[in-house]
Amino acid sequence: MKVSTALFGSIVAASALSTSAVPKKKHHAIDPKDFVYVDGLRLKDAKGLHYITGLNYWACMNLAANKSQGGNYSRLVTELDQMAAHGINHLRVMASSEGAPTPQPFRMTPALMEAPGKYNEKIFRGLDICLDELSKRGIRATMTLNDEWQWSGGFAQYVSWALNNTAIPYPPSWNMTKAPQRTTPGTGWGNYSDEADGAHTYDEFTTFANQIYTNELTEKWYKDHIKTVINRRNTVNGRKYNEDATIMTWQLANEPQSLYNYSPSDPLFPWVDRISSYIRTLAPKQLISVGLESKQGEQIFKAVHKAPEVDYATTHCWVQNWGVYDMYDSSEANLKAAQDFATAFIANTSAWSKDVGKPVFLEEFGMARDNWENANKEYPYLSSASTTHKDAYFKTIIGAVVSDFKNGGPYIGTSPWAYGGMWRPETQVVNEFGMVWAGDPPHESPGWYDLYDTDEAMNIVARQQKDVAAWIKKNQTHGY
């Protein structure tokens, strides 16, 4: 996911279905041999053109895990049914999280990998359950294998391991135990850590984390993890991960960062080549993506995505984090600035993808609720705020992608961040591991970008799926 405004402030270039009323719908399970493949600027499966109507649901393996590990199977299947009822055919989930010798803040807990090569099998089984439940509902997955940011452990934890458990220079991150606190313990609110709490700058953090690109030991451990996950046999359905078409894509990492100014010697570029080539040897039937936001401009976009084993490009669009949009400004001008930026971002990245000759997937975007309504309340991200700007923005950015797809462009789908489903900040209670499993990850304010089961945005996503499915049926002779 995206990070806080502090990192991107200077970067400016681009009637709902409720929990209690999920409609009954017959789902067509994924044929484990029906792998999605790239054909020019399109994705295809056995039925023909494949358009992605996706959501980010990064905590799937933890929600699916045993109750002793903080899992919540009842919530998991309810939310998967909600998403399937809205036409969701793809989820982007974490297939990685890293622990440490001592408890660390701001991250997924319990972790999948407790130390290099040491796994929590109960969390791994949660990933098995997640994939099996997706497959039953006709939903494919992007499996994210690492993370630039602190909320899963990620790059920084690998580097810390390699440097004898050196302390990680965490940037400002959400601390549920910080003031202001609610009367009932464990219900928030909390606030971001700051310099007084020992927080470092994002530049310090990314400089530390990006040592993963050049450290031989971290690369060995990371490749060992890749091999372990890709070669795993699902304990629920018996399928090997690399033989299961439910897994559409293996992703190198969530938002790997490059140097801010293009340099041919940027260590990110050979790292992408090495890691994607390694994945290909283990998973020749599945697709590979990098996980780049593509905020860094044309040269870096092309340098990353031209790697021979990378099947399609990715984009993330974060108008508030990148300093384009203000969630406390109710003006039409504020909304229009966000819409114009998003439209231009889609147009530019579409053109760059055509030049590279590969499809492109908008796999992250979001907007806060009308949080000016919460400006004088106890918590800025209360779910009671309306969503007029968010709904208009979703129509614009999803519409831009659908239009590009219909006009023969390289865009192949959208995936908003992130599904919070039945969770709400007003009723949150941390579990024994300190987790609330909101749509937003543990290093960010819960409820900031959540998509709830009753949000109009979910209907906008559903209409996208129906619109594109009808277009595909009309425009390809053998249906969809």
Dump pLDDT digits (tens) for 100-146. Answer: 999 998 999 999 999 999 999 999 999 999 999 999 999 999 999 99
**Across 78-138, where does the E strand assignment appear?**
90-94, 113-115, 118-119
Distance (Å, whole) CA 133 – CA 419: 16
What pLDDT score was predicted for residue 228? 98
pLDDT band, very low/low/confident/very high, at 259 (cuts 50, 70, 90): confident
**Across 336-426, where does the E strand assignment appear?**
360-365, 411-414, 419-421
Mean pLDDT, residues 261-280 taken together: 97
Is pLDDT of 8 > 80? no
Residue 421, strand partner residues: 452
Distance (Å, whole) CA 480 – CA 473: 6
Percent of the chain at pLDDT > 90 equals 92
pLDDT higher at 27 or 194: 194
CB contact burial 284-301 (16+ within 10 A = b; e otherwise): eebbbbbbbbbbbbeebb
Chain segment 294-335, per-residue pLDDT in tens: 999 999 999 999 999 999 999 999 999 999 999 999 999 999
What pLDDT score was predicted for residue 26? 62
Is pLDDT of 158 > 70? yes
Percent of the chain at pLDDT > 70 equals 94
Is pLDDT of 390 > 70? yes
Mean pLDDT, residues 79-91 taken together: 98
Distance (Å, whole) CA 424 – CA 445: 12
Mean pLDDT, residues 435-455 taken together: 97
Q: Which architecture characterizes domain 5-475 according to CATH?
A: Alpha-Beta Barrel (3.20)
What pLDDT score was predicted for residue 261? 87
% helix, strand, coil for the chain, step of 5: 40, 15, 50
What pLDDT score was predicted for residue 22? 45
The domains of the chain are located at: 5-475
Contact, 305 vs 357, CB < 8 A? no
Is pLDDT of 12 > 90? no
Is pLDDT of 57 > 80? yes
425-to-20, 346, 451 alpha-carbon distances in Å:
19, 32, 12
Lowest mean pLDDT among 2-11, 118-127, 173-182, 200-209: 2-11
What pLDDT score was predicted for residue 230? 98
pTM of the model: 0.94
What pLDDT score was predicted for residue 25? 56
What pLDDT score was predicted for residue 476? 80
Mean pLDDT, residues 79-89 taken together: 98
